[in-house]
Chains A and B, each alone.
Chain A
Amino acid sequence: MTTVLAPVAGTAIGLAAVPDPVFSQAMVGPGSAIDPQREPGQAVAPISGTIVKLRAHAYIVMGDDGRGVLVHLGIDTVQLKGEGFRPLAAEGDRVDAGQPVLFWNPAAVEAGGRSPICPVVALDAAAGAVNGEVRGGVGAGDELFQWS
């Protein structure tokens, strides 16, 4: 059982509400999504482990059991090429759950015409493996769902 934390503060809305079929249809795995507060802030590690991928706008933390959790900050944000994002950790770093990984500004993403919604995905997990999903207001580092 892995407890997955909310990487950002906002409203937990569920993965199906993400305006990108790759996430809403759970093509890369089940999980949840957060509609973030529109203010600059830190995105934190959803689980403890190693940052196996760190891009300007997204990251994957893999636990020691091999489970990877993807955090994607906003939709189509690859197109921003890192503008407005700042890394607070490096690829290969070990992080504790709740430790800051990226700094970003959801309001700026939205002002640029993109959705700032953040999918949080249990990569390649079975469809029924995510449960105890929290909905509504969450703070960064609050429990978001369980990966059984």
Chain B
Amino acid sequence: MAADVRAIIAALGGVDNVIEIEPCITRLRTEVYDASKVDQGALRAAGVHGVMLAGNVVQVVVGPDADTIASDIEEIMG
């Protein structure tokens, strides 16, 4: 399963919208500033298994590569 890291960031509302990303085995727990900027359809199109939105926390289910994807995202975010 190869999720598109750049597409995930864009679907989360871009680098400036992301406060924190924490990987947990199969998912990314992402805290965002503005949840209305999160595009769930675009996340699914980026190859993720599922998305759950609660308040300003977005859980992006990516499968067992969560650690790698999170560090790739952190690298891009600088």
Contacts and interface: CB of A to CB of B under 8 A. Distances in A.
A70 B26 CA distance: 9
Interface residues of B, number: 15
Contacts of B27: 22
A60 B24 contact: no
B26 A22 contact: yes
Contacts of B50: 21-22, 25, 27
Contact of A28 (B29, B49, B67): B49
Contacts, number: 43
B40 to A, nearest CB: 13
A78 B49 CA distance: 20
A120 B22 CA distance: 22
Contacts of B25: 53, 55, 58, 60, 70, 72, 78
Nearest to A78: B24
A124 B22 CA distance: 21
Q: Most A CB atoms within 10 A — which of B22, B25, B59, B67?
A: B25
A68 interface: yes
Contacts of A52: 64
- Max chain A C-beta neighbours (<10 A), residue from B22, B27, B67: B27
A28 B61 contact: yes
Interface of A: 21-22, 25, 27-28, 52-53, 55, 58, 60, 68, 70, 72, 78, 123-124
Top-6 shortest CB links A-B: A27-B50, A27-B49, A78-B24, A28-B26, A27-B61, A58-B25
Given A25-B50, A70-B64, 17 more contacts: A21-B50, A22-B50, A22-B61, A27-B49, A27-B61, A28-B26, A28-B64, A53-B64, A58-B25, A60-B25, A60-B64, A68-B64, A70-B26, A78-B22, A78-B29, A123-B26, A123-B63
13 contacts: A22-B26, A22-B61, A27-B50, A28-B49, A28-B64, A55-B24, A60-B25, A70-B25, A70-B26, A70-B64, A72-B25, A78-B25, A124-B63
